[in-house]
Amino acid sequence: MNLSNTLIIWYKKFARELPWKSDRDPYKIWVSEIILQQTRVEQAKDYYLRFISHFPSVESLANAPLDHLLRLWQGLGYYSRARNMHVAAKQIVAEYHGDFPRSVQALSLLKGVGPYTAAAIASFAFDYPVVAIDGNAFRIFSRLFAESCPIDSSGAHNLFSGLAQQCMMDTPSSLFNQAIMDFGSLVCKPQPLCMECPMNVQCIAFAQNRVQEFPVKRFKKKPRDRFFYYLHITSKDSGKECTYIQQRHQRDIWQNLYQFPLIETEAPVSVGELPNLPQWHTIFEEETPLVLGYAPKYLHRLTHQVIHTFFVRIEMEKESEWLHTHCKEIDASSLDRYGVSRLMERYLLDEEIKYLPLWHANSLE
């Protein structure tokens, strides 16, 4: 029995039930594929349903304010996905009158749509005969063929697409690609269930007892350390508590999201040293804020960065000119209306914070 037949027999018995699977609408397929990037399936399901409820069509997404989209995306991370979706939705409306292009080449011209996503949309929506090569496919075919080409090398996509295309044969691409995704998630996982695999007799890596050697990756770069000191400033204005936020506009992590005023340093400093830094004096100028304390360090890990973060609680009677010019003063109770990073969200939802006094920080990093 060939590989494709074996795979499809397994799939018809064990296929996962997911809210986007039975849909042929290219818009909904696109939404699901973008959300699934860097996101676990269980988490993706709720976000997908909420997203489609808020933006049922590509036109509704194109016409939505970016802030609304980013707020809905909060907690998923990798916010460039949401920004790219917004741009791509506008492309589809402006250039294709709201209809998705049908070819892989045209789909690849949409903002944020790479080779895999273009192939997935073309396959699942239009049954275009193309294999969608994602992490699951790389893992499965590298093991089946004991292929040692690093999957993050320049020629990997073409090589593994060719191997997968050979296996697909005359199977409808939508069926084959769905089966590959489920098989990679349920059986041929990073820690594989080889004894339950219906293709283990055809798997070269299994026969050679080398399954854990695949897929091969090149040397991974060490994550960069960054040091963030957020200033959670509050003041009383007309009897209500206000705070200050600013929007990140630079081309960096969390672009367009909101945050407290930030001091970033190249090397770690103790929280107690912050008032001695030039950035502190730039923010507060001649004002002398009341520093209430700081929250113990939060570590936030991204793909290529580790963010070491302290949140410093501050009260002010009078705002500085810098805060007036560079920040937005808002009612503290309305913070949840703004899209913030997962790191900020963790802090805001942390009900067990015990703020440490600033003098306690002088011996800490």
Residue for token digits 């699901």? Answer: 32
β-bridge partners, 241: 236
Rounded (to 5) percent helix, strand, coil in the chain: 45, 15, 40
* Strand 290-294 to 305-315 pairing: antiparallel
Element (H, E) at 53: helix 41-54
CA distances 207 to 96, 115, 147, 227, Å, are 50, 32, 13, 48
> Is 285 noted as a catalytic residue in this protein?
no
β-bridge partners, 294: 312, 356
One-letter amino acid for residue 354 of the chain:
K
- The values of phi and psi at residue 323, to 5°, are -65, -40
- Give dist(CA 201, CA 213) in Å, integer: 18
User: 3-class DSSP state for residue 20?
Assistant: coil
Nearest CA to 245 out of 342, 331, 350 is that of 331
Cis check: omega of the bond before 19, within 30 degrees of 0: no
Angle between helices 115-126 and 26-36 (to 10 degrees): 140
Q: Using an 8 Å Cβ cutoff, are 309 and 228 in contact? A: yes
Lookup: tokens for 232? 């959670």
User: 3-class DSSP state for residue 276?
Assistant: helix
Q: How does DSSP assign 226-242, residue by residue?
A: EEEEEEEEEEEETTEEE
Query: Where does residue 14 fall: left (phi above 0), alpha (psi -120 to 50 degrees), or beta otherwise?
Result: alpha
User: Which one from 17, 33, 319, 329 is the annotated catalytic residue?
Assistant: 33
- Give the residue numbers marked as catalytic: 33
